[in-house]
Chains A and B, each alone.
Chain A
Amino acid sequence: MWPHKKINLGLDLQGGMHLVLEVDTQKAVESTIERITQEIRTFLKKEHIRYVNLDRIKGSQISVTLRDPEAIEKFEKLLDDEFENLRQVSRDQDDNGLTVVMDIPDEEADQIKRLAADQALETIRNRIDQFGVAEPDIRRQGEGRILIQLPGIKDTQRAKDLVGRTALLEFKLLDDSHDIQAALKGSVPPGSELLYQINENQETGRIKKVPYLVKKRARLTGAYLTDARVQIDSQYNEPYVSIDFDKKGARIFERITEENVNKRLAIVLDKTVYSAPVIQEKIAGGKARVTGNFTTDEARDLAIVLRAGALPAPVIILEERTVGPSLGSDSIRKGLISMIIGGILVVLFMAIYYKGAGLIANAGLLLNIILIAGGLAGFQGTLSLPGIAGIILTIGMAVDANVLIFERIREELGLGKTPRAAVDAGYARATLTILDANVTTLIAALVLFQFGTGAVKGFAITLSLGVLSSLFTALILTRSVFDYFLINRKIRHLSI
């Protein structure tokens, strides 16, 4: 019944997935702070400034403790020269020495958050474009939220993984100067961290976690990546993802491999080690591969997320609504059936109660439904299940205007007026009442539209369209039909 090309069906009718994500923008600030902390560490080493402690604390603050006065002086100079955008939160002198706590100014943190949200939106849009979904709808919702609508999507889990994955690719050197056993017992050396490789035995399904002690500082990240493609390993017949770096990335990669021959380089994706090969020789050309027992789909999705880039901060799924296509078509069928049955009953009722005039009202009713459908198509509205309910409700309420007019006409006829005078008086008197009564429904519908999400908005739209079109049909259309019969056909007796 609905011309599919023109009226957009809501996700609840055609099946699909609706997601609301929240970008954890605070994490973007934290990772900026983490990066600055690593930079400070590198500077301190390079300038031979002796420090007692350097760490990121409370998520987004940097704490440095120095003891000898010379080091403090050098450190102050370093801050002035290289880190002038850091804000000092506190300075405490105690037995350990001087502890300086710093963070970044609020405006800058806000800027980072804003950028993170923008970039996350862009990245997710890229990923979904590459995944290939027909007519996805991806938009910002408020400060740090992203609304994603994927109509007709079947493999919802895959889509969620694709959207929700941070996909931060990092190359980190293994820390071989410290004992991993000691680290596992809790004494992780500063500047290093414990990460795990997860191996799943595909036959038994058993999961084994292999720990690695790696340097915190990422030597190279996915930011320098230009391409990522799925390849099949000819030896093991296993898919892997080959990545290409841009010129700068290739130079960095070349330098790392040159300086660290015979050391191990961990390829880390979202804090999980995928592999940690030993560097055999200097690698030029900027190519690397990510391996790890992938299925073809997994490798393909990984290539997509790597190409689209990492999310600047992790995202959390706040809301998910998934409707299977069979449920959607069920809903359409049931909605249409109740609309047709309800409609027929109302039409019968009007025809029996008001006879000829009832037929005129019924013609108006039919036109009403066509107008609502046309309105939906014209305004690019979306028809949802509550939207169908709205149309059904309109069928019941649209005849109200006609009832008001007809009752008025009957009253006027009862006073002994001629049919023509009665119709004139009936319309004249009822018009204002009808307008008044409908404005309030319109107010409720508009408030609903403002407040509503997805499906409820659909209801508000069809209800408003219904109110407007029933005003038109009752006040203008049925009026002209009456006039035609009374003036042109000179009917003497009103069938009402």
Chain B
Amino acid sequence: MQFIKPDINIDFIGKRKIAFAISIAMILISAISLLLHKGPRYGIDFAGGTLIQIKFDAPVKLDDIKTGLKSVDLGKSSVQLFGQEADNEYLIRTDRSVMTTEGFSGQVAKSLVDSTGVKVAIRRVEMVGPQVGEDLRRKALFAMFYALLFITIYISGRFELKWFTSGGITIALIGAVYLISLLNVSIPFLMAAALAVALVLFWFLDLKYALGAIVALIHDVIITVGIFSIFDKEFTLPIIAALLTIIGYSLNDTIIVFDRIRENIRKYQKSKFPFIINKSVNETLSRTILTSITTLIVVVALFVLGGGIIHDFAFAMIIGVLVGTYSSIYVASPIIIALQEFTKRK
């Protein structure tokens, strides 16, 4: 069986302007959604607060739950159906984070039984203090940043044998980030600045593979975060894990294309660069699509069957796999051409 014929020759590079336009539009939409929602919606892992998962023995009315909760002082709280309707499971969230110390979950259970008349079990309580939330937020951003950075050294080293240049950039960036972080600047700003500086450095030092890969990765992360924001989903620790996995996964695709480019440069020395790149993307297309299919199969299975707790994680992975596949075809390689054309013009 074969989905993609070996002699396939789609003109990806010729259509790169359209692809760029689509990508930029998606990034803009993501940015607008993030602006409208005032940044990503942080779950309690990052914002601090309390989350209680409850399961009733029989169906109850949402209003009864809300009435029951009113008798416990919860602060700003929300109740939401969790999983299937038939499960009678709900999530209660509040922005308060200290009360769990004082027999709080017992009180919640008691007043819910009073208001609904149905037996209720508390299945999960998560309380994160504001301090811890802030710590985790900082750590998550640093993790994403370092993952991107280490990956780019690896790419520059492996594909262009510029271990020293890329290593030097990395050490300089880590040093700069550390020094600036001592000044108490807001971390998202710091990371954005560091990434921007990294991109500029890659551009001027002509590290085209690293540039292509990192642009594709930032593209994937922004769009995934944007779609999460459009669907108004929460950012939690597992979502960060999903984002990092997407970074690894999307890069996987990208590297396989780069690898083919490197091989084809040697093989077709007389051909023009855009032709080689287009040929490489076409040659690896079958594999790119197949791997995406098998990965999609399992993440969709996880999304449908994995249960509520892992639902959003699977959702992030589905988006990531789709966007990652797209970006390794339409973003990473065309960026290399863009840089090539830029340096020639100089």
With contacts A338-B305, A396-B294, A440-B251 taken as known, whether A318 is within 8 angstroms of B240 at the C-beta atoms is no
Q: Is A397 an interface residue (CB 8 A)?
A: yes
Q: Is A444 an interface residue (CB 8 A)?
A: yes
A-B contact pairs, 23 of them (CB 8 A): A156-B125, A160-B100, A317-B127, A318-B131, A334-B305, A342-B300, A345-B301, A386-B241, A392-B302, A397-B291, A400-B294, A400-B295, A403-B291, A407-B287, A429-B263, A433-B260, A436-B255, A436-B259, A437-B255, A440-B248, A444-B151, A448-B241, A451-B139
User: Does B124 lie within 8 Å of A440, measured CB to CB?
Assistant: no
Q: Is B111 an interface residue (CB 8 A)?
A: no
User: Does B101 lie within 8 Å of A164, measured CB to CB?
Assistant: yes
CA distance A334 to B305 in the complex (A): 6
A445 contact set on B, CB distance < 8 A: 244-245, 248
User: Does B248 lie within 8 Å of A443, measured CB to CB?
Assistant: yes
Min CB distance A413 to B, Å, is: 10
Contact with A along B307-333 (1 / 0, CB 8 A): 101100110010000000000000000
B248 contact set on A, CB distance < 8 A: 440-445
Which residue, of A22, A337, A389, has the highest number of chain B Cβ atoms within 10 A?
A389
Contact with B along A158-193 (1 / 0, CB 8 A): 001000100000000000000000000000000000
A433 contact set on B, CB distance < 8 A: 255-256, 259-260
A208 contact set on B, CB distance < 8 A: none
Question: Which of B2, B125, B139, B297 contacts A345 (CB under 8 A)?
Answer: B297
Q: Is B154 an interface residue (CB 8 A)?
A: yes
Interface residues of B in 21-78 (CB under 8 A from A): 53
CA distance A442 to B240 in the complex (A): 16
Q: Is B122 an interface residue (CB 8 A)?
A: yes
User: Does A342 lie within 8 Å of B298, measured CB to CB?
Assistant: yes
Question: Which of B103, B123, B143, B295 contacts A157 (CB under 8 A)?
Answer: B103
A355 contact set on B, CB distance < 8 A: 1
Min CB distance B136 to A, Å, is: 8
Min CB distance A164 to B, Å, is: 6
CA distance A494 to B210 in the complex (A): 38
Q: Is B201 an interface residue (CB 8 A)?
A: no
B170 contact set on A, CB distance < 8 A: none
CA distance A346 to B232 in the complex (A): 31
Stretch at the interface among A118-126, A301-309, A319-327: A319-327
A-B pairs with CB below 8 Å: how many? 223
With contacts A326-B121, A346-B298, A443-B150 taken as known, whether A157 is within 8 angstroms of B106 at the C-beta atoms is yes
User: Does B252 lie within 8 Å of A440, measured CB to CB?
Assistant: yes
A444 contact set on B, CB distance < 8 A: 147, 151, 244-245, 247-248, 251
CA distance A64 to B231 in the complex (A): 63
Q: Is B198 an interface residue (CB 8 A)?
A: no
CA distance A440 to B147 in the complex (A): 9
B195 contact set on A, CB distance < 8 A: none
Residue ranges of B at the interface with A (Cβ–Cβ < 8 Å): 1-2, 6, 53, 98, 100-101, 103, 105-106, 121-129, 131-132, 136, 139-140, 142-143, 146-147, 150-151, 154-155, 158, 237-238, 240-241, 244-245, 247-249, 251-252, 255-256, 259-260, 263, 283, 286-287, 290-291, 293-302, 304-307, 309-310, 313-314, 317
User: Does A397 lie within 8 Å of B123, measured CB to CB?
Assistant: no
CA distance A157 to B240 in the complex (A): 30
Question: Which of B131, B237, B299, B317 contacts A453 (CB under 8 A)?
Answer: B237
A89 contact set on B, CB distance < 8 A: none
User: Does B294 lie within 8 Å of A399, measured CB to CB?
Assistant: yes
User: Does B245 lie within 8 Å of A327, measured CB to CB?
Assistant: no
CA distance A283 to B132 in the complex (A): 49
User: Does A393 lie within 8 Å of B100, measured CB to CB?
Assistant: no
Q: Which B residue's beta carbon lies closest to that of A398?
A: B294
Interface residues of A in 436-470 (CB under 8 A from B): 436-445, 447-448, 450-453, 455-456, 459-460, 463
Contact with B along A367-398 (1 / 0, CB 8 A): 00000000000000000011011001101110
Question: Which of A326, A339, A389, A443 contacts B147 (CB under 8 A)?
Answer: A443
Question: Which of A20, A397, A410, A442 contacts B132 (CB under 8 A)?
Answer: A20
Question: Which of B53, B132, B139, B302 contacts A389 (CB under 8 A)?
Answer: B302
Q: Is A261 an interface residue (CB 8 A)?
A: no
CA distance A335 to B313 in the complex (A): 13
Q: Is A432 an interface residue (CB 8 A)?
A: yes
Contact with B along A114-158 (1 / 0, CB 8 A): 000000000000000000000000000000000000000000110
Q: Which B residue's beta carbon lies closest to that of A407?
A: B287
With contacts A346-B298, A459-B238 taken as known, whether A385 is within 8 angstroms of B101 at the C-beta atoms is no
Min CB distance B7 to A, Å, is: 9
